[in-house]
Structure 1
Amino acid sequence: MIILKWLNDQLLKMVWLQNLVTLLVKNVFGLDVNGKAGGSIHFFIYDVIKIFILLSVLIFMISYIQSFFPPERTRKILGKFNGISANMLGALLGTVTPFCSCSSIPLFIGFTSAGLPIGVTFSFLISSPLVDLASVLLLAGIFNWRIAIAYVLVGIILAVIGGTVISRLKLEKYVEPFVFGNKVLDMEQGDLTVQDRLQYSKEQVLSIIKKVWLYIIIGVGIGAAIHNWIPENIISAILGKDKWYSVLLATFVGIPMYADIFGTLPIAEALVLKGVGLGTALSFMMGVTALSLPSMIMLNKVVKTKLLVTFIGVVTIGIIIIGYIFNAFGYLLM
């Protein structure tokens, strides 16, 4: 247990980095890390470096594994299942694809074009931006393993339930006809060498970092401001644990925004440190990642209004329920 705790502290929480940044702030900037300015600079530098290190390493590892499962092979695997088992597989597939909600939509179109049930593709669409292996380890590094595992479980459950509800409502006719008309090449993956897979993994790291770096910087900056400059009593008055509407407010504030989970995690961390309920912070994070306005605009191009509204409604209700559950029982995970 002592060895596991040491590994968790050094590899995920990066205590060594925290200590180095403390020395940097004190000796180079001449600031006290317990003060507002010093604390903000420390929070910003430490979180940015930590997230980029973890993200790069994890995306590289995940992409190497993904190189064995291209979309066509994935489609064939999913096509062998039906019913709730297919929804579960679609949700689990989403957890190993490090895409934001906008990046998930092309794959959603591809899977639907290939003839997969829309319930399965919506399970994928919900889980892909919401839960992935990189976010699990980042959650564990920022909070702890209990919270990370609980978040993954509720994210997968939401994806399975959401996809199942959409499937049972028989809403296929509300998918735009051109989606079903797309041709999908039925090709087997060529034999890739280890070097090919390593190159692919490197390219994936660079591609994803280019897409998310700005959101990470903005997210960490907002987190640093919340953590050190906004008085705790103001945040508590708006989103305090005793406010029954805090989960509703956090969810609906998060939905119009656009960021991935890596940009919203520092904000959730800062909110929890300020006394906001864990469920409220997670509801905000899930609203931003699963139902961002740009991704809903993109999705509206491929599905009709009734299906879009149903999708948003199911996911929003699920996020709100999850938020209240975490607020009620989150203390067991802290």
Structure 2
Amino acid sequence: MTDHALPPRTPMAAFLHMMWSKEKVWLFSALLLAVLFVLVPAQGATSAAFAAQNLLNVAPFLILSIGIAAYAGATGADGLIARAFTGSPMVMILIAAAAGGLSPFCSCGVIPLIAALLAMGVPLSAVMAFWLASPVMDPSMFMLTTGVLGLEFAVAKTITAVALGVFGGITVHLIAKTGGLADPLREGVGNGGCGASKVRTVQPVVWRFWAETARVTKFWHEGIKTTLFLAKWLTLAFLLESLMLAWLPADLVASALGGTGLAPIGIATLVGVPAYLNGYAALPLVGGLMEQGMAPGAGLAFLVAGGVSSLPAAVAVWALVKRQVFVLYIALALVGSFASGLLFQLWTMV
């Protein structure tokens, strides 16, 4: 205790302090929108509509994954799901990477599913394999990529998706064997690292959980808590995305990614990570750049890096996992994107 104690907070100041400490993400999003409406009213309206529309678009994935996670937790089935991933690590990584390459999740849409899997105690190696592969390719993306960039490019992107997942999964598995990356979720997200206990301890499963008041309470508590957590971070992510789409000139991206050699592949990788471009919207841009002489490897690196770790996705991931897992996720995205672009470039030169 100091000699000069701070003056007591007024009730309003105390309330604002409590709101900021607990709901700073919501408040920051509201403040960002307020500033936009004051300084750039048209952009404020556009950003608000963009965030609302994208939240509606991702709502089915949110509701499904959150509902499954809450149901699994209330019934005790999460232990069964977690134990399904306790077989051979290599097999689980391969299955997860292949499933990711076929799933229709974008880099933000996959976040709620990742949160549910980690909360259930599913090993981070298998989750990371799915996490990295999922946003890169899906069946509809394959068809569109074929139409815009050709079958060879679409096949290369599909192979890259699965290979990136396997690479990331194996890397995480090797690190985990040394004792690293324990309890990947941040404190207070899902069940944290405690989900691993569901794998070791067999608990009875009560499928009709609604017959027990405690289980019903747990269902609603977990569902509401997870919904609010993901909604606030995705709202901020979509607001940031709207600003990047509005204020990042497409011709600036074009000038940075033009040319041939290793440099464009490296630049494309670095630009692709923070610069969000919807995977479908990015295809015509990359197609146009390739017609102007951009190396195919740079185009692939840009699409993969942007798909896996765009700024909105990175914001959501930062809120979900601990710092070392986040850094590893970004590193895997960078290395994998650059390597895929380099290998594809060498393939096209043969």
TM-score (norm 2): 0.57
Q: CA RMSD in A?
A: 3.7
Given that 1:79 and 1:116 are in contact with CA atoms closer than 8 Å, whether structure 2 keeps it comes out as yes
Q: Could you say which residue in structure 2 is the equivalent of 1:330?
A: 348
Given that 2:82 and 2:122 are in contact with CA atoms closer than 8 Å, whether structure 1 keeps it comes out as no
Amino acid at match of 2:344: F
Given that 1:97 and 1:128 are in contact with CA atoms closer than 8 Å, whether structure 2 keeps it comes out as yes
1:235 Cα deviation from its structure 2 partner: 6.0
Distance in 1 of aligned mates of 2:275 and 2:207: 38
Distance in 2 of aligned mates of 1:186 and 1:175: 26
Amino acid at match of 2:153: I
Q: Is residue 324 of structure 2 the alignment partner of residue 310 of structure 1?
A: no
In structure 2, the CA distance between the partners of 1:284 and 1:105, relative to structure 1 (3 Å rule), is same
1:154 Cα deviation from its structure 2 partner: 1.8
Q: Relative to structure 2, which stretch is displaced further, 174-183 or 149-158?
A: 174-183
Unaligned stretches of 5+ in structure 1?
1-62, 189-211
- Summarize deviations over 1:41-94 as a string: whole Å, max 9, x none: xxxxxxxxxxxxxxxxxxxxxx9xx9xxx8879957953643111011111221
Which of the numbers 118, 135, 142 marks the counterpart of 1:136?
Answer: 142
Q: Is residue 250 of structure 2 the alignment partner of residue 240 of structure 1?
A: no
Q: Is residue 194 of structure 2 the alignment partner of residue 176 of structure 1?
A: no
1:186 Cα deviation from its structure 2 partner: 7.9
Given that 1:277 and 1:327 are in contact with CA atoms closer than 8 Å, whether structure 2 keeps it comes out as yes
Amino acid at match of 2:185: V
Given that 1:123 and 1:162 are in contact with CA atoms closer than 8 Å, whether structure 2 keeps it comes out as yes
Distance in 2 of aligned mates of 1:330 and 1:77: 43
- 3-state secondary structure, aligned to 2:122: coil
1:172 Cα deviation from its structure 2 partner: 2.4
Q: Is residue 287 of structure 2 the alignment partner of residue 277 of structure 1?
A: no
Given that 1:101 and 1:129 are in contact with CA atoms closer than 8 Å, whether structure 2 keeps it comes out as yes
Q: Could you say which residue in structure 1 is the equivalent of 2:107?
A: 101
- 3-state secondary structure, aligned to 1:326: helix
1:180 Cα deviation from its structure 2 partner: 5.3
In structure 2, the CA distance between the partners of 1:236 and 1:277, relative to structure 1 (3 Å rule), is farther
Amino acid at match of 1:252: L
Given that 1:78 and 1:89 are in contact with CA atoms closer than 8 Å, whether structure 2 keeps it comes out as no
Given that 2:256 and 2:264 are in contact with CA atoms closer than 8 Å, whether structure 1 keeps it comes out as no
Q: Could you say which residue in structure 1 is the equivalent of 2:229?
A: none
Amino acid at match of 1:276: M
Given that 2:269 and 2:334 are in contact with CA atoms closer than 8 Å, whether structure 1 keeps it comes out as yes
- 3-state secondary structure, aligned to 2:135: helix
Amino acid at match of 2:258: L
Give the share of equivalent positions with the same residue, in percent.
Answer: 23
Given that 2:117 and 2:127 are in contact with CA atoms closer than 8 Å, whether structure 1 keeps it comes out as yes
1:161 Cα deviation from its structure 2 partner: 0.9
Q: Could you say which residue in structure 1 is the equivalent of 2:315?
A: 297
Q: Could you say which residue in structure 1 is the equivalent of 2:162?
A: 156
Given that 1:235 and 1:274 are in contact with CA atoms closer than 8 Å, whether structure 2 keeps it comes out as no
Given that 2:145 and 2:154 are in contact with CA atoms closer than 8 Å, whether structure 1 keeps it comes out as yes
Amino acid at match of 1:97: S
- 3-state secondary structure, aligned to 2:134: helix
- Summarize deviations over 1:104-151 as a string: whole Å, max 9, x none: 111001111122101111111111111111111111111222221222
Amino acid at match of 1:116: V
Distance in 1 of aligned mates of 2:303 and 2:206: 37
Q: Could you say which residue in structure 1 is the equivalent of 2:48?
A: none
Q: Could you say which residue in structure 2 is the equivalent of 1:110?
A: 116
TM-score (norm 1): 0.60
Distance in 2 of aligned mates of 1:186 and 1:84: 32
| Structure 1 runs of 4+ with >4 Å offset | 70-78, 182-188, 234-238
Q: Could you say which residue in structure 1 is the equivalent of 2:20?
A: none
Unaligned stretches of 5+ in structure 2?
1-60, 199-204, 209-237
In structure 2, the CA distance between the partners of 1:237 and 1:147, relative to structure 1 (3 Å rule), is closer
